[in-house]
Amino acid sequence: MASAQSEQSSFLQQELTCPVCLDLYRDPHLLPCGHNFCRTCLYRLKWQANRGRLRCPECRDSHRCGTNFQKNFKLANIADDYRHRRRATTAAATALKSRESLTSSLPTQQAKSVFAVPCDYCPSVTAEASGTSADGPSVSQEGGDKKEAAAAASVFAVKTCLKCEVSMCQEHLKPHLELPAFREHPLTEPMNDFWKRKCPNHDEIYRYYCMDDKMCVCNACTIEGHSGHTIKTLRNTMKDLKRTLDKQLYKVGRKYSMAEKKLREQKEKERQNKKFKDDSEQYLNRLGEEMKAKVLRFINRLRECTRTHCDTNGPAIQKNISRICQDQARLQEVRCGLESLMQENDPFRFIEAYKTTGRQCRRQLRKNMFYPEYINMYIENDEMMEEEMRTFLDEELSSIIVAAINFLCLYEEDFDDSSEEE
């Protein structure tokens, strides 16, 4: 029987598959030759058409691109209904498989108490089947067999219907997935906490949200305690709050882009600083080999100047980078929090999480961004180098010294010119 149903489902899926995109039909349109294609696939064929005529991928008949192809409404309805059923069945099977894997990894009693929600339609496990009595647990083989049989007979729920207020196993869930009468019934993950979703005053499920009092309300509350208030459905409230989160995500993205830009600038400063240090070392070492002992003191002074300059800028740059990285980490944390909220589809859980996580994200988002300190890339002790140059002029070393000074100072100007161009 299961094999026949599987073959029938496979045949139906094959008939409802577009031959171009190989997916279920979406807004199918009919060609004059009798073959159906998705609307987007048909537009793609028009765009690829030659001389204003397209060929049917199935029979290769030629049709004019200007023809207004009619939508196949019946085929569209059948494909949408099949897609809806397949998604619901897949979601239910996935939930059941996940729940079975979780419960199987724990001891039986612990798994039932933590994860399992019993099906309201299946027979419940009695105290006799659990293998206990008034005198204590039974140690007989017969009691152990009863306990194992009861554990095997118990069935866990895979979905809970908020309208019917029942939890159902995979078998009893089928009417909600297949019958049109249950199509509007909202299904959610199995739950035991119906009291959290019910109004304590009227014993009704929360279906609305009072914007004035910031709380969930039932139908009776909208008339008795919240008359004249702004009332919205939980789903519309979730949509409004998600639009707010979208704006916050946009702000996070802009600020994160600013942080990335600042980080790139500081990284470039760090690279220039390191390159300047490395090139100065190389040039001054070569200069020392040429001048030998005559200009040893001069070389040491130049080396000291350049190293002092680089060592002075280095901590400031590292500090800027560290502070910018902190801003990035904070903004990334806010982004993760907001995205986790955006992925929540249960209105009640979303609103409860929005009150805590959303408030924390907004508080983090309001914090000011760090603006880096100004890093001066110019060498400020040029006078000391010039004094050393004048000292050695009498020894006919002016040409070598001038070349060294020009290399060091013009190197910095090149960096500044490139930064201005960027």
Mean pLDDT of the chain: 77
How many helices (H) and strands (E) in the chain?
Answer: 13, 13
Euclidean distance between CA atoms 209 and 406, whole angstroms: 73
Confidence of residue 283 (pLDDT cuts 50, 70, 90): confident
Query: What mean pLDDT comes out for the span 154-180?
Result: 83
Tokens of 268: 């470039």
pLDDT in tens, 350-400: 888 888 888 888 888 888 888 887 776 665 556 666 666 666 665 656 677
pLDDT in tens, 14-46: 888 898 888 888 889 988 888 898 988 888 888
Tokens of 392: 């050695």
Place of tokens 């099949």: 82
Confidence of residue 249 (pLDDT cuts 50, 70, 90): very high
Question: What pLDDT sits at residue 129?
Answer: 37
**How large a percentage of the chain has pLDDT more than 70?**
76
CATH 1.20.140 region(s) of the chain?
A: 236-421
In words, the CATH class of domain 9-71 is alpha beta
> Position 277: which residue type?
K
From 32-36, 296-300, 335-339, the region with the lowest mean pLDDT = 296-300
pTM above 0.75, yes or no: no
Confidence of residue 154 (pLDDT cuts 50, 70, 90): very low
Euclidean distance between CA atoms 32 and 36, whole angstroms: 9
Confidence of residue 262 (pLDDT cuts 50, 70, 90): very high
What's the CATH architecture for 236-421? Up-down Bundle (1.20)
CATH 3.30.40.10 region(s) of the chain?
A: 9-71
pLDDT in tens, 81-128: 888 888 777 766 666 666 566 555 544 444 443 357 888 888 654 333
Query: What mean pLDDT comes out for the span 315-323?
Result: 87
Question: What pLDDT sits at residue 248?
Answer: 93
Indicate the SS3 state at residue 336.
Answer: helix
Tokens of 194: 């119906």
Tokens of 207: 């279906």
> Do the beta carbons of residue 237 and residue 347 sit within 8 Å?
yes
Query: What mean pLDDT comes out for the span 261-288?
Result: 88
